[in-house]
Amino acid sequence: MTASPVPAETETETDPRDAGAPLTAARRRGTSYVRDLTTLLSTGSVAPLLVSAVGGWLTNLAFPDRGWWPLAYLGVAMLLLALRDARTARSGLVGLLWGLSFFLPHVSWAVDATGSLLPWVALSLSQALYVTGFAISWTLAQRSAWVGKHPLVRAAAAAAVRVAIEQLRGSWPFGGFPWGNLAFSQVDAPLLPLAAYGGEVLVSATVVVIAALIAHVVAQGRRSSGLGLLSVARGVLALSLGPWLLPLSTGAEAGELRVGAVQGNVPQQGAHWAAQAREVTANHAAGTRQLGESVGSDGLDLVLWPESAADIDPRTDAEQAATVASAAETLDAPLLIGTQRFPDGQDVRYNEMVLWQADQGAGAAYAKQHPVPFGEYVPYRDFFRQITPLVDLVGTDMAAGADPALMSVPVERLGRAVDVTVGICFEVAYADLIGEGVRGGGELIVVPTNNASFGHSAESTQQLAMSRFRAVEHGRATVQISTVGASGIALPDGALLQRTGLFTAEQMTATLPLRTSLTPATRLGTVPRTVVWILAAAAVGCGVLSRRRSGLREHDRLVGGRQQELEG
């Protein structure tokens, strides 16, 4: 009998239901997945798991509170190294482990907010599954011939797939959860100016390209010439430091606005919620009076209070209205205050910022467009109640506002109204929402937030980093004002002008430039996201087709070998 040309590893793979017949490609792949998983868990294959776990943990350290931004490059590089030459089953497990080791510490504030481990674990796992999706997608994509061996092409393909998954995570389901996007780790890095040219997509993609080039240098080691590795190293340095040279326009284009912001702090938990809510409002009124003593009655054009500074609606409660009106009269300046509105006859509430003027009372309002699922409303409540009763901690669901994130504030000194882009709390994480407000005419960005539920965790400083990113992305001065901190004022180049502490009563003042021009990132809007989705789909599609062609060729060899055996 003629010897079969089929490799020894596959020659003996037969289907027990059809003795002697070669396995189909699909059945061989199923067997291969099981074998890969078994091999991965064996002693000799633990290294990729360890590399992946450490990489996820290091990447989290690139974000606030640590802010060690170069670790984002190293952490992502370790993920790519762990995925190098990995099979599909192995890549999924490697990606999941990286995702968990990143998200578990990154969103640990969920424990403070809910008092339970279950929401923290569920949130971390749901986000880690996207990293699993990236790992599998990249494993398929890197099999394509056009991804090839050239380090820059490979790095660009990895960036497209990674950022495409990141953008999907920030969009779906329930509007997505962009927290932890790689771009937000770079607010103190030389890459930050790229935000004005391509937003999150460009900054995150550059992080991945740098990481991929680092992974290439490590993987090649002695196999490549010193000259080739030196060339790649130069590319890493150029990408890492070069964006620092990009010009950013930061000057006033439509005058300046004198802004005051009041962080009133909150009382200790324990009192009835209504008494506490009134005390929070009283704290912010007292802070406003202190602000008036320091700047004078006509020293400010606008005073900002945070989200939930007046949770009992002063539009319907006389006592609250008196407290707010007294504060507004102190400075004779418009107030933007955060409150809750409960419409008559509806079992919902709206989270709103309301314009309050001393001589007119309540005026225009902006309602939060993007309530937080499971935090401010519960989708499919009856279903999730069967899993955990914690869903009923959200007693009244928050409804989404319909108007753009934009408020018009009359400024007497300027003789005109100033349009202000407003993103309430977590809304700062959503690029589309803030971009819509700026394109609609916003000359300044305001981010009112209530971080009282998150304790001394990194949640508030993570949010402040996002506010600084938005400042550069849209070329707008940005004020984040919190009930308890961290509050801060950022200039259009992302420089932090002022910042408060946590659980303190403080005030901030600044004269900020009003700007009307649009950055390239603002003009492009969702175009960069669409581009990476198309590129990623092409890369993965080519990889799948390449694998299919490889499988067909192997099948033809098996059939040919079987035919030769029969003829022999």
Encode pLDDT of 13-45 as tens digits.
Answer: 344 334 444 445 545 555 555 555 445 444 447
Q: Copy the structure tokens of residue 101.
A: 């080791």
Residue 135 phi/psi, 5° resolution? Answer: -60, -45
The C-alpha atoms of residue 112 and residue 54 are separated, in whole angstroms, by: 25
482 neighbors 261 (Cβ within 8 angstroms): no
Tens digit of each residue's pLDDT (9 = 90 or more) over 312-344? 999 999 999 999 999 999 888 999 999 999 999
Place of tokens 């175009």: 527
**Beta pairing, strands 416-422 & 496-499:** unpaired
Average pLDDT, the chain: 89
The C-alpha atoms of residue 298 and residue 295 are separated, in whole angstroms, by: 8
Tens digit of each residue's pLDDT (9 = 90 or more) over 159-183? 999 999 999 999 999 999 999 999 9
* pLDDT class of 88 with cuts at 50, 70, 90: confident
Residue 540 has pLDDT above 50, yes or no: yes
Average pLDDT over residues 41-57: 81
Q: Which domains does the chain have, with CATH numbers?
A: 8-248+536-552 (no CATH), 256-516 (3.60.110.10)
287 neighbors 397 (Cβ within 8 angstroms): no
Residue 364 has pLDDT above 90, yes or no: yes
pLDDT of residue 21: 43
Residue 366 phi/psi, 5° resolution? Answer: -120, 130
Residue 305 phi/psi, 5° resolution? Answer: -110, 155
Question: Could you tell me what percentage of the chain is helix, strand and coil, using 3-state DSSP and rounding each to the nearest 5?
Answer: 55, 15, 30
* pLDDT class of 485 with cuts at 50, 70, 90: very high
Average pLDDT over residues 558-563: 52
CB neighbourhood size of 549 (10 A) = 11
Percent of the chain clearing pLDDT 70 (strictly above): 86
Residue 115 has pLDDT above 50, yes or no: yes
Q: Residue 257: enclosing H or E segment and its boundaries?
A: strand 256-263
Tens digit of each residue's pLDDT (9 = 90 or more) over 372-401? 999 999 999 999 998 888 888 898 999 999
Average pLDDT over residues 88-96: 92
